[in-house]
Structure 1
Amino acid sequence: MNPDILKDEIQDYIFDFSGDSSKLAFRGSPFSEVTVQELLIQIEGRKKVEKKLPTWYETRGILYSKKLNLEQSSSEETAKYKASLVKGERLADLTGGFGVDSFYFAKSFKKVEYYEQDATLAKTVCHNFSILQNENIECFEGNSLEMIEEKYYDCIYVDPARRHDLKGKVFMLSDCEPNIIEHLGFVLDRCKTLIIKTSPMLDISAGLKQLGYVKEIHLVAVENDLKELIWLLEPGYDGEIHIQTIDFTKHGLEKWNVSWNNSEEPSYSQPLSYLYEPNVAIMKSGKFGALSKYFSVNKLHLNSHLFTSEKLVQFPGRRFEIISVMPYSKESMRTLKKTKVNITTRNFPETVANLRKKWKIKEGGNAYLFFSTNINGEKIILQCCKV
C-alpha cells in the first residue's frame, strides 16, 4: 500500500472524481507520489461500492483492493442480516475478504478475529477497520484453519470461494476454498455455532447431504435477486431444519419461514381474480405446498409456480389483478401484436425473447402478460395489472 494515497489532496481528488476513468488512464496521474494505476484502483473501487457499501463509500481514508474482492463481498444489507442471527463473546471470520461481514459481526460480538490469507488485502482491510473505528476486531494474516487450532469460539463464520478452474460446472461445496466439507469436523469442534455463506447456485438438498448438523438455512435476496444462502450449523444437531426466506425490497422486508421437512401439497384451481408470483427466495425453497396453505392461494399447475385467489391477500412476491384469461392461440396473439407490455413466462414452451420477436411486442408499459399452463395442461395468457 502506498501511504501517499491517504494525503488530503489525493483523497480530495478521489472523492471529487466524476470523469471517465479510461481518459485518466490515458492522461496519467496528476500526482508524482502515486501512479495512475494506484489512483484507478481507488477511484473505480469507490465507485463500485456506492450502492453496495454506502458506509465505505462515504468514509474518507478507506482503501480499496482489486475488483474480485469487492465483487465477492457481502453487501451491507446482507452483512447486517447475518450479524442479527447470532451474538456472543467471540467470533472468528475464517475468510475475511474485504471485511464487511467482520465489521457487522463486531456489533454483535465483544471480539471478532478476522483471518485473511492475502497479506496485501489483510493490511488494507485492517487499515479500513481503524478508519471505521472498529476497536474490537483483531486482524490475522495467514491460513485460518492452522491459526485457530488451539482456539474456541461462540461462532465461526466462513464464506468459501469457488475455485476459478470450475467455471460452468455444477456448484459443489467440495469445490470451494477452503474445502469446508473436508474440514467440517475440525471447525465444528472449535465453536458453538458455525455459519456458512454459500452461493445461491448451491442445491439445498445437496448442501444438506454434504453438511449435516444444519439447524437453519436463510435464503437471502435483495430486490428479488437471490444473493446468498446462509447455513447455521450446531455440533450434534439433529432436529427440525428451519428455512427462512428473506427479500429486501424498496417497500420493506418480505419474510416467510417454513420447515424443510414440510411436504404439504398445494391446492389447485383455474385462474381466479388475483395472480401471485413468489419472490426468488421462496422459489429457491421449493416449498410451494406450504406456501399455498399458509396464504390460502391456489397453484395454477404443478410446474407453473404461479398462484391465484378470489380475494387479494398479502404475499411475499409480486401481486396482480387478472383482467382476462385467453387461450394461447394465433387468434389471441393477433390482438396483442405490436403492443407494449411486460411479459413473463412460467411453465411455457416459448421464451420471452421469442414471443416478442414473433409478435413484435415491445417491452414496458403498465400492462403485464403471463404465459403459462393451467391445471388442465392448457397453454394460457393472463392479462394483468399490478396491485
Structure 2
Amino acid sequence: MTPELLSALRTPEGVEALAVAAEVADIEPLAAASAVRARGIGAELAAAALTQASLRGRAAMKFGPDAARMFFTRPGLEQATRGGVAARRAERLAAADVRSLTDLGCGLGTDAFAVARRGIRVYAVDADPLTAAVAAANVEALGLTDMITVECADATTVEVEAYDAVFADPARRQAGRGRVFDPKSYSPPWDFVAALPQRVPRTVLKLAPGIDHGLLPPGAEGEWVSVGGDLVEAAFWCGPLARDPRRASLLGASGVAELTGSGVEAAPVGPVGAYLYDPDPAVVRSHLVAEFAETVGGRLGDPDIAYVYTDDPVDTPFARRLGVTDVLPFSLKKLRALLRERGVGRLEIRKRGSALVPDQLRKDLRLSGPNGAGLVLTRVAGAPVALITTES
C-alpha cells in the first residue's frame, strides 16, 4: 500500500474495485485476480483492492461491521487495538469527564474511533505518512470527521497540555527488526512517553503486555487485558484515571471479568490438591495470582510458580481448572511406563517452571494408545514433578 494507491481506492473506480474484490475474496488468489481484471480494472488497483478485501476479512474479528468500510495495512492491523478493548477504554475516559483527547501514535485510528463515539473530540497524530493517511481515510469512511482530526506529525511536537487527556500508543516495531521489547527503542522515545503524566495528569499509555512493572508511574494503575484468553495489551492509567494498583481484565463471550489488587501479595503455599488452576495470562502478568488464589480458597505448590491448587472444585472466570489424578516426581522412565499402562497416545502438555521442551518430550515418551490425557510439568516445593490431569 502507498498513499497513491490509497487515494486510488477512494475514487469511484477504486470503490468498484473494492466491491468486486469483496465478491471474489474467498476464491483461489489467481482466479480472484483474474475475476477483478476481467471487469476492466488495472492490475495495480486490482491487487490493492484484493489485499484490502483480505485484510478486511481478517479485521472483522477485531472490529466487527466497521471492518468492511475501513482501510488497512498489514502492520497496522496487527498492532491495532481490538474494538471491544478500545470501547471499554473509551467508556472509562468518558466516565472521567474527558471531553478532548490527543491520540499520540494513532495507527489506523481504532482507539480514536471508540473515543469519538463517546462524545470526546480527538486530535490524532502518527509520524508515518501512510499510516496517518489510512487513519484519515477511516475517519471519513466511518463518518467521524466532525469529531476527529488526523495529522501526520511527530508526537513530541504536539502541545498535549491543550487537551483534557492524552492517549499514547508508542510504536513497538522497527522496519527490518520486527517487535521491539526494550522501551528505550519505542517511538516516540520512552523518556517522552513516561513524562506525559506530569504534563497531562489524565494520561493513558498503551504498552506491550510484557512491560516491566517498575516502569509504572507513581500512583498509576497497571491494567493487563486478555481477550478470549489471549493477552493483548497492558495499559497504564495515570493521575485521576487510576483506580487500583493492578487490574486484570478478561474479555470473553460471556462478558468482562475483572480482578484487582496490589500486585505484591503472596499466596499461601501447600501441597498439590485434587484440582489445578492455570490462571489467565492477564492474571499472571498483573501479578495478581495471590488475589486469584484467595477467590478460590487455593494455594500454590511452589512460591514461584503460578499454578493454584484446591481440594474442591470452584468455578472461576480467571483460570482454567484441571483435575489432578496423579502426582509423581519427574522421571522419564516412570512417566513413560505410566502412560503406556493407561494407553495414552494423545497428550496435552503444559508447563511452568520446567526447562523441558514439550515436542521433544512427546518423542521421548513414545506415546501409543487410544486414550488422551493431560500432563503438567512444574515444580512443587522446588522439586520437578509431573502431574497427570483431566478436564474438570
Matched residue, 1:16: 23
Which 5+ residue runs of structure 1 have no aligned equivalent?
none
User: Is 2:107 the partner of 1:100?
Assistant: no
Amino acid in the other structure paired with 1:340: R
Range 161-170 or range 129-138, more displaced: 161-170
Q: 1:214·1:231 contact (CA, 8 Å) conserved in 2?
A: no
Question: In structure 2, do the counterparts of structure 1 residues 195 and 5 end up closer, same or farther at CA, with 3 Å as the change threshold?
Answer: farther
Identity %: 20
What are the within-5 Å matches in structure 2 for residues 173-188 of structure 1?
Answer: 173-182=183-192, 184-185=194-195, 187-188=196-197
> Larger % of helix: which?
2
Equivalent position SS for 2:206: strand
Question: In structure 2, do the counterparts of structure 1 residues 363 and 130 end up closer, same or farther at CA, with 3 Å as the change threshold?
Answer: farther
Range 36-45 or range 26-35, more displaced: 26-35
Q: 1:130 aligns with which of 126, 137, 140?
A: 140
Q: 1:202 aligns with which of 182, 200, 211?
A: 211
Question: In structure 2, do the counterparts of structure 1 residues 168 and 140 end up closer, same or farther at CA, with 3 Å as the change threshold?
Answer: closer
Question: In structure 2, do the counterparts of structure 1 residues 171 and 53 end up closer, same or farther at CA, with 3 Å as the change threshold?
Answer: same
Equivalent position SS for 2:92: coil
TM-score, L = length of structure 2: 0.84
Question: In the TM superposition, what whole-angstrom CA distance separates every residue of 1:307-336 from its partner, at most 9, and x where no partner exists?
Answer: 111122233110122223233332332121
Equivalent position SS for 1:247: strand
Question: In structure 2, do the counterparts of structure 1 residues 28 and 170 end up closer, same or farther at CA, with 3 Å as the change threshold?
Answer: closer
CA–CA separation in structure 1 for the residues paired with 2:186 and 2:135: 23
Give 1:245 shift: 0.5
What are the within-5 Å matches in structure 2 for residues 17-96 of structure 1?
Answer: 17=24, 18-24=26-32, 29-34=37-42, 35-57=45-67, 59=68, 62-87=69-94, 88-96=98-106
CA–CA separation in structure 2 for the residues paired with 1:142 and 1:85: 27
Q: 1:343 aligns with which of 324, 338, 349?
A: 349
Give 1:358 shift: 0.6
Matched residue, 2:315: 314
Q: 2:339·2:367 contact (CA, 8 Å) conserved in 1?
A: yes
Q: 1:160·1:178 contact (CA, 8 Å) conserved in 2?
A: yes
Range 245-254 or range 4-13, more displaced: 4-13
TM-score, L = length of structure 1: 0.85
Give 1:299 shift: 0.5
CA–CA separation in structure 1 for the residues paired with 2:346 and 2:224: 34
Give 1:255 shift: 1.9
Matched residue, 2:4: none
Equivalent position SS for 1:127: helix
Give 1:147 shift: 5.7
Give 1:171 shift: 1.9
Which 5+ residue runs of structure 2 have no aligned equivalent?
1-6
Over aligned residues, Cα RMSD in angstroms? Answer: 3.0
Matched residue, 1:248: 251
Question: In structure 2, do the counterparts of structure 1 residues 194 and 253 end up closer, same or farther at CA, with 3 Å as the change threshold?
Answer: same
User: Is 2:385 the partner of 1:384?
Assistant: no
Matched residue, 2:228: 223
Matched residue, 2:153: 143
CA–CA separation in structure 2 for the residues paired with 1:95 and 1:108: 20
Number of equivalences: 374
